[in-house]
Chains A and B, each alone.
Chain A
Amino acid sequence: MITTPRFPRRPAVWFALAAGTMALVLAATAPSPMLAQVPAAVKGAEDERVAVIAKVKPAVAAVCFYGGKVCGSGVVISEDGLCLTNFHVVQPTGAILACGLADGKLYDSVLIGQDKVGDVALVKLLPKKPGDKFPFVKLGDSDLCRAGEWSLAMGNPFGLAMDFNPTVTFGMISGVNRYQPPEGKGTLEYTDCIQIDTSINPGNSGGPLFNMKGELIGINGRGSFDKRGRVNSGVGYAISINQIKNFMGHLKVGIDTDHATLGASFSTDAEEGDLSKIFVSSMLDESDAFRRGLKPQDQLVAFAGRSTTSTNQYKNILGIYPKDWRVSLRYRRGTASKEVLVRLMGNMDKVIEKEPQPGDPKPGQPQPGGPPSNPGAEKAKLSPAAKMVEVKKGYANYYFNVLAQDELLAEIKKNYGDFSKLTGNWALDGNVQLADRGGNVKLTWIDDKTGTMEVKMSREGIEDSVKPLEPGIGVGELSLPQGSGGLLVSLWQFRLLMTQLRDGMNPNTSFSPGFVHGGSEPFYPPPADGKLPANITDLRVDCDVLKTKKGQFEAKWYFDQKNHALLGCEATFVKEEDPCELYFYDWKDAGGVKLPHKIVCKFGDKTFATITARTYGLVRK
């Protein structure tokens, strides 16, 4: 029992008044004569805070089952109604749901993309009238957050507000770059997250965490709970917005995204006294890190540009990237240190998916005690959102992937012209520079009567030729010219991409159905003049990716997000081997369409060839 000598009566009242949120409400609204005594600076800061809350409030969403039963929170981040929330909030609602905004209206909504491991989902609110714009908030830079800064959490804890007017809580950032291990089997892993003492409770899940400028710095979703039950314990966690930005390209195109592994495990040295270091303890042979030269006992110095002194830090950094991304890695062996770009492997293969069990601890569940049933499931079928759902394995909603493909294909046509009639033979005359020699080169794409395309390369008396679709063709032939990793096969796919795009009818020549939008990835094209910068990551260009697949041939095509210029591709035909990398430069007119007049081919850690085109000859059919 607590005895309070100064205020012997009604200690409970005192407690309530001292509680943070209550005091905030009082400070913000109480028409108290005491305010006259509040210094101007204090009043000014308070007014600023009230103004920030008023500014962001309209974009805070209550994420609901279709029909309006509240399930969690969310926040609108674009005028066309894209809304971020937690995966564990939309998991019970299904793809057709509803979101309530502070205007008191409930909007039919549809799931676009999801990140199970990162516990993020992207939802789209449908406007009441076509063209209506939604209030939205600006994304901040969560790397700038520091422990000790103030923050605002908004949302709908305990499903309090029937009119969707969000609750605001005010508190402190308690820590940054925090790591919280997965809650499910491999899912709901919070890496590099923001720890707050700002009160978050069941129902706050998926809601926004703002800095005091009203910028979105995170999505609230989890807390540390122990004996006090699953309510605010003074320790909440928000997924950092910078992690979400890395996944945004994937989320927007409907992907059920996956996180990454490096294919290596690390251990911290156990030496006392010294500062901590981490070392490679084991590696997978099929990992790109292994192919790039990383070996057991190497010290991991930096990963994605951040220094790594503990396994928590390493997991933090790894956890914010989608699979297949290339990031930089610096390692030390003996006295030498080296920086390389590594491709990350997928994570989900090792995750055994588990349906939530009754009684599973799950933060933010509106009514703990069991998986909520979906009360709006039947009515949802009548929603306009129902026409925007397409189920496909590997996707949260493939409908939005098809939309994104259409947009990107339109951009290709706009940038480079219409190749659809240019399906006859192609030829390129020019110059080739290899590592040790150079000379004239002639490339030809021959469209054979059977539909089996042949690609030839003649240079200074040497001729290489590949028919990629010929039955029984071996890896050796597909890799021609020797040392290129499959330059000719890659050029064949390039022609397929430009001429057939997605809709080619001939199953032998078109990519369909192996044609999807792959979200976004960083791409590191070497500079046109060949001079590499000191920092390898300075080359990074954020790209939209098209993924194509035809038989055993898979390729990823990289389009600069700024102007949709096709910068290059990575093509593979043997899994777990280095791809053949092509980089395209100098797109110029080639008889009504544009084609790259310089192509760099890289394989592994080496540049194989630089081809400069003098002329292209493209035959119509």
Chain B
Amino acid sequence: MFRRIVPAVLAFGLVASMPVSAAEPVTKVSEQVNEKMVKIFGSGGFKGVVNYTTGILISPDGFILTVASQTLDTSELIIHMYDGRKMKAVVVVTEPVLDIALLKIKVDGKKIDEPSGLDLPYFNYAESLKRPIAEAGDWVLGFSNQFEIATRNEPMSVQQGTISSYAKLHGRRGIFDFPYTGNVYVVDAITNNPGAGGGALTDRKGQLLGIIGREIKNTLSETWINYAIPLNAKVETKDGDKPKIVSFPEFVSLGMQFKYKPVDRPVVVLTAGGFHGMRFVPNILERTPPYVDELYPNSPASKLVQVNDLVSFIDGEPIYSIKSFNDYMRKTRPGMTIRLEVRRGDNLQTIELKLEEWPKGLLPTVPLPKNPDPPK
């Protein structure tokens, strides 16, 4: 117990000593880091799914790392540089298992795999990788364009905190288990806000430690967690049926040569409970009401439920949203019978559904941006 206090005290000792030593004031570090970061604007824009995120430059000619979010799911990515310049970017490759994407700035008249002619400030990924892993108690800075506070030449938000732990991640995004299961830096600052994904976690000198991840919840405590994917991230997974280790450094080095091939990702298995056969309207709000949008043929619900029914109760418990529906369903298993009350027009209908095994291929997978066509 006592040992654990020490790093915290020392960390704040560092903080406190900053104005005294003033060797590298955070103000200066922030300015330097900011020059190596970009604001990314893509698809999304309706409530719950933002159309902006953050990225970091890792080469002078415009390679960018960010998270593999829905924002990238467009052919028209726009980035804003630290100096206010506005440019186009394309996705080179994404690795869902790392939840990371590699982009490149597109300069008119140049092919994407040609040198762009740009000479931008950047983080040297390979050099950063040589530094030791940061430890719990280390003092860190987070940089991102969370909440789209900045556009054009307005600087990123800077936050400070300490590394709480370096540990394996088991997160959840919506109803889906999060694809990345490697080690992360967990931080005590609230870094992982909307649009912060792809931001930089650095040490107090502005040296890159990791990429701030997307907003996810801890699967155990159901609380939001703040974390970054470390530069040395490695994940054991399967490529098709073969075991494979996916490594972040390899992703970056092969990706920048246009040679990286994402793994043939296994379907992410959900603790989705028993199969009912209803599909709801797109879950874009924190509280999207569970209106039935589609019914799978020959499923338990197909004969009893109708499209546009609103699920209001399961087994007498009120259901307010798709999320609360899914949360309830997770407690179920194939073979159980549930009693639904659905609103159909002005009436409440009571329906009993006997849940089944999920048919092969129907288990929901994590929605991720499609990989783009190979660059020409």
Beta-carbon nearest neighbor of B220 in chain A: A1
Select the stretch in A269-277, A396-404, A448-456 that faces chain B.
A269-277
Contact A2 B170 (CB under 8 A): yes
The yes or no answer to A146 lying at the interface (CB within 8 A) is yes
Chain B residues lying within 8 Å of A212, measured Cβ to Cβ, are: 19
Quick one: CB contact mask for B78-115 with A, threshold 8 Å, 1 for yes? Answer: 00000111111000000000000000000000000000
Contact A310 B193 (CB under 8 A): no
Contact B84 A310 (CB under 8 A): yes
Contact B136 A6 (CB under 8 A): yes
Chain B residues lying within 8 Å of A15, measured Cβ to Cβ, are: 164, 188
Contact A174 B20 (CB under 8 A): no
Q: For chain B, residues 137 to 155, give those with C-beta under 8 angstroms from any C-beta of chain A.
A: 137, 146-147, 149-155
The yes or no answer to B286 lying at the interface (CB within 8 A) is yes
Chain A residues lying within 8 Å of B225, measured Cβ to Cβ, are: 2
The yes or no answer to B168 lying at the interface (CB within 8 A) is yes
With an 8 Å Cβ cutoff, the count of chain A residues facing the other chain is 64
A232 to B150, CA, bound (A): 20
With an 8 Å Cβ cutoff, the count of chain B residues facing the other chain is 71
Determine which of A174, A228, A234, A275 lies in contact with B153 in the assembled complex, contact meaning CB atoms within 8 Å.
A275
Select the stretch in B4-12, B289-297, B349-357, B363-371 that faces chain A.
B4-12
Contact B13 A226 (CB under 8 A): no
Contact A23 B147 (CB under 8 A): no
Chain B residues lying within 8 Å of A172, measured Cβ to Cβ, are: 26, 158-160
B149 to chain A, nearest CB (A): 6
Chain A residues lying within 8 Å of B21, measured Cβ to Cβ, are: 41
Chain B residues lying within 8 Å of A49, measured Cβ to Cβ, are: 16
Contact B165 A26 (CB under 8 A): no
Beta-carbon nearest neighbor of A38 in chain B: B13
Chain B residues lying within 8 Å of A7, measured Cβ to Cβ, are: 4, 136, 165
A49 to chain B, nearest CB (A): 6
A235 to B195, CA, bound (A): 13
The yes or no answer to B30 lying at the interface (CB within 8 A) is yes
Chain B residues lying within 8 Å of A146, measured Cβ to Cβ, are: 27, 30
Contact B158 A147 (CB under 8 A): yes
The yes or no answer to A312 lying at the interface (CB within 8 A) is yes
The yes or no answer to A32 lying at the interface (CB within 8 A) is yes
Chain A residues lying within 8 Å of B16, measured Cβ to Cβ, are: 27, 42, 45-46, 49
B87 to chain A, nearest CB (A): 6
Contact B170 A1 (CB under 8 A): yes
Contact A234 B190 (CB under 8 A): yes
Beta-carbon nearest neighbor of A234 in chain B: B190
Contact A309 B153 (CB under 8 A): yes
Contact A23 B193 (CB under 8 A): no
The yes or no answer to A150 lying at the interface (CB within 8 A) is yes
Tally of contacts, chain A with chain B, CB under 8 A: 199
The yes or no answer to A20 lying at the interface (CB within 8 A) is yes
A356 to chain B, nearest CB (A): 22
Quick one: CB contact mask for B15-59 with A, threshold 8 Å, 1 for yes? Answer: 111111100011111110000000000000000000000000000
The yes or no answer to A537 lying at the interface (CB within 8 A) is no
Chain B residues lying within 8 Å of A24, measured Cβ to Cβ, are: 12
A412 to chain B, nearest CB (A): 46
A11 to B21, CA, bound (A): 33
The yes or no answer to B161 lying at the interface (CB within 8 A) is yes
Chain A residues lying within 8 Å of B88, measured Cβ to Cβ, are: 272
Chain B residues lying within 8 Å of A607, measured Cβ to Cβ, are: none
Contact A195 B167 (CB under 8 A): no
Contact A147 B193 (CB under 8 A): no
Chain B residues lying within 8 Å of A26, measured Cβ to Cβ, are: 5, 8-9
Determine which of B27, B154, B186 lies in contact with A310 in the assembled complex, contact meaning CB atoms within 8 Å.
B154
The yes or no answer to A39 lying at the interface (CB within 8 A) is yes
Contact A42 B193 (CB under 8 A): no
Beta-carbon nearest neighbor of A22 in chain B: B8
Contact B169 A38 (CB under 8 A): no
A209 to chain B, nearest CB (A): 16
Known: A23-B9, A27-B9. A233 touches B190 (CB 8 A): yes
A93 to chain B, nearest CB (A): 30
Beta-carbon nearest neighbor of B154 in chain A: A312
Contact B168 A3 (CB under 8 A): yes
The yes or no answer to B271 lying at the interface (CB within 8 A) is no
Quick one: CB contact mask for A1-13 with B, threshold 8 Å, 1 for yes? Answer: 1111111000101
Known: A17-B5, A174-B159. A27 touches B13 (CB 8 A): yes
Chain A residues lying within 8 Å of B194, measured Cβ to Cβ, are: 226-227
Chain A residues lying within 8 Å of B304, measured Cβ to Cβ, are: none
Contact B157 A14 (CB under 8 A): no
A489 to B290, CA, bound (A): 71
Q: For chain B, residues 154 to 181, give those with C-beta under 8 angstroms from any C-beta of chain A.
A: 154-162, 164-165, 167-170
Known: A4-B167, A18-B8, A226-B147. A234 touches B25 (CB 8 A): no
Contact A273 B87 (CB under 8 A): yes
Known: A5-B167, A272-B87. A147 touches B155 (CB 8 A): yes
A26 to chain B, nearest CB (A): 6
Contact A224 B149 (CB under 8 A): yes
Quick one: CB contact mask for A501-545 with B, threshold 8 Å, 1 for yes? Answer: 000000000000000000000000000000000000000000000
A157 to chain B, nearest CB (A): 15
A14 to B163, CA, bound (A): 11
The yes or no answer to A361 lying at the interface (CB within 8 A) is no
The yes or no answer to B207 lying at the interface (CB within 8 A) is no
Contact A227 B215 (CB under 8 A): yes
The yes or no answer to B14 lying at the interface (CB within 8 A) is yes
The yes or no answer to A148 lying at the interface (CB within 8 A) is yes
Chain B residues lying within 8 Å of A368, measured Cβ to Cβ, are: none
Determine which of A2, A147, A272 lies in contact with B186 in the assembled complex, contact meaning CB atoms within 8 Å.
A2
Chain B residues lying within 8 Å of A554, measured Cβ to Cβ, are: none
Contact A150 B15 (CB under 8 A): yes
Determine which of B20, B170, B191 lies in contact with A45 in the assembled complex, contact meaning CB atoms within 8 Å.
B20
10 extra A-B contacts, CB within 8 A, seeds A17-B5, A150-B15, A309-B84: A26-B8, A32-B5, A146-B27, A171-B160, A172-B160, A226-B193, A275-B85, A275-B153, A310-B153, A313-B154
- Residues on B lying within 8 angstroms of A by beta carbon are 1, 4-21, 25-31, 83-88, 136-137, 146-147, 149-162, 164-165, 167-170, 186, 188-191, 193-194, 215, 218-221, 224-225, 286
Top 9 A-B pairs, shortest CB-CB distance: A234-B190, A148-B26, A45-B16, A1-B220, A42-B13, A148-B27, A148-B30, A197-B159, A146-B27
